[in-house]
Amino acid sequence: MLFKLFTVLCRPLLERRRRSSVHALQLRAMSDLELRDLGMGRSEIPAMLSAEAQPHAEESWGNRP
């Protein structure tokens, strides 16, 4: 019973972490030109991934100059 509760509570956190890992691999595999097409540089990947983990981060990221 306790294990099931733990599993239910941790599932969203584990899923978010898995998605972040997949996104990190995809971004790091892109060339500098592809990243520039997205409007970002290689040095911005960690910030992008940390912003992704925060609620409503996509709103603030999309409003970049």
Per-residue pLDDT in tens (0 to 9) along the chain, 65 residues = 777 887 788 888 888 878 878 888 898 999 999 999 989 899 988 888 777 656 554 555 555 55
pLDDT of residue 8: 81
DSSP string computed for 7-62: HHHHHHHHHHHHHHHHHHHHHHHS-HHHHHHTT--GGGHHHHHHHHHSTTHHHHHH
pLDDT of residue 56: 53
What residues does each domain of the chain span?
24-60
pLDDT of residue 49: 79
